[in-house]
Every structure is written in structure tokens, then in C-alpha cells.
Amino acid sequence: MGILNVTPDSFSDGGSFVSKGEMIKHVRQMISAGADIIDVGGESSRPFANPVSLEEELNRVLPAIETIRSEYSIPISIDTTKADVARLAVEAGADIINDISALRFDPEMASVVKYSGCPLVVMHMQGTPGDMQVAPTYSDIVTESIDFFKERISWLAVKGIPKNLLILDPGIGFGKTLQHNLTILNHLDAYRSLGCPLLVGHSRKSFIGKILADETADREIGTAAISSFLVYQHTAIIRVHDVAKNMQAIKAAQAIMAA
């Protein structure tokens, strides 16, 4: 999954793809490098990010989705917590709804997902982007996040959203410390008991800088190293910024596993 942030304030590439020309150039590069899905986001979910209005988010994501769909048949994911954004994005050509709130922020989102019939990414997060990194605390991060997913799966079934449409994202960096993130990555097999594909979004996140003991470091090599580990863990969807570099790591890991 290649990331397309059409935002001015995302933690890694904010402002880079706001213009139509730069946006479609980046999309072409990601598809050429081997992306299978393009994930379009119009509201930053970095720690302490400020929310944006519905109108502003729509103005960012709809032209991007329409432009991509006019040129490519590649699946498009809409990264949003707003039901109206998800609904209009699907009408514009999006195929997947990616909600970091796991449908907890907007009471209308369940209806949009149900009637669209789209696959849904359900993410675990403690708190909100505005406060999630203040003091994240767990007794057992793996058990507690799995319990969270069990509750969400049951709740979604009541809302008419079947389990076979769900993709689970343990939420690396969303209300987690370095140790929480590493523990999740080392125990991804535990999440398979839930019977849904897994998505992991680790790309360029601050915990990689902490691993390297260098917050200013280029995190792309660290990102690619984790991507190769995720292949070994049979992760269904690997969400990254630099598709080309991560595909090198992924192909190398796949070749070893196939030998």
C-alpha cells in the first residue's frame, strides 16, 4: 500500500503532493514501483495534529481520487474518520475505507461502510491523535489490542458489516511507546487468531528513530528492514511512503522464503 498524503502537515511528507502535478507524478512512481493499493489521506493523524473541517478534507481528497481513478484501475483506499468523506470518496472511485478510529469517531460511518460494501481497515488506537502519545499505558499491549479487535468485530457484525470485509491494523505509533510497537511487531502471529488479514503501517515513524538512537536519521532503511520482517510474518498489507525502496526489501525477503 503506497501512501498519498494530500495534506500540508503530515509528519513525513506534508505539503509534498498538494499540487495535482506532483500528486499524479508520485502516484505513477508508486504504481511503477509495484504498489498494489494507493491510500489517500487528507487529514494528518500524526501525534498532536489538529483536526480539519469536512469541507477542507473533501477539497483535498476528492480531486486526488478522481484523478487517480481517471488514469488507473488500481484499488484506492480512503484514509478518513468522517462518514461523509468516506461516502463521497467511494462515489468518486475509492474501493477501501481506512478508519483509524475503528468507526468510533463518527456514528454514521457504519452505515456508509455497510451500504458501500467496501473492505474496511479497522485500527487500534489508544486515545485520539491529539492526545494518544501523552502517556500510553497497557498491562499487556497484545492482549488488550486483540480484545479491542474482538469487540469491534462483534460490534460491526451487529451493524451489518461482515467479518470477511475486515482488515485489522494494530496501529503502530498510535498511542504506543517504543516497547509497545516492538512487542506488537514481534507477536503479529497472535493477531491471526482473529481470522482477518493484517495491515501494518510502520513507515518512517518516530519509533524507528528511537531504535537508531537518532531522531534526525533518515528512517527509510529502518522502514525497509521492518518491511522485510513483515513479509516473513506473512503480513497481508504493508503500508509505506517509499514504495520503490521497500519493494527491494520485500522482493529479497520473498526470494529467500521461496528458496
Estimate to the nearest angstrom the gap between the alpha carbon of 132 and the chain centroid: 16
Query: What domains appear along the chain, each with residue ranges and CATH number?
Result: 2-258 (3.20.20.20)
Q: Which of 114, 205, 219, 251 is catalytic?
A: 205
Distance CA 89, CA 76 (A): 9
pTM for the model stands at 0.93
User: How many Å from the N-terminal Cα to the C-terminal Cα in the chain?
Assistant: 25
Q: Which residues of 202-217 are buried (b: 16+ CB within 10 A; e: fewer)?
A: bbbbbbbbebeeeeee
Q: What is the pLDDT tens value at each position of the chain, 259 positions in all?
A: 999 999 875 545 444 556 788 899 999 999 999 999 999 999 988 777 778 999 999 999 999 999 999 999 999 999 999 999 999 999 999 999 999 999 999 999 999 999 999 999 999 999 887 777 878 999 999 999 999 999 999 999 999 999 999 999 999 999 999 999 999 999 999 999 999 999 999 999 999 999 999 988 889 999 999 999 999 999 999 999 999 999 999 999 999 999 9
Tell me whether residue 205 is one of the annotated catalytic residues. Answer: yes
Tell me whether residue 114 is one of the annotated catalytic residues. Answer: no
146 to 93, 127, 137, 142, 176: CA distances (angstroms): 32, 16, 15, 6, 15
Helix (H/G/I), strand (E/B), else coil: 3: strand
Q: Which of 82, 152, 204, 239 is catalytic?
A: 239
Question: In angstroms, how far apart are the furthest CA atoms of the chain?
Answer: 51
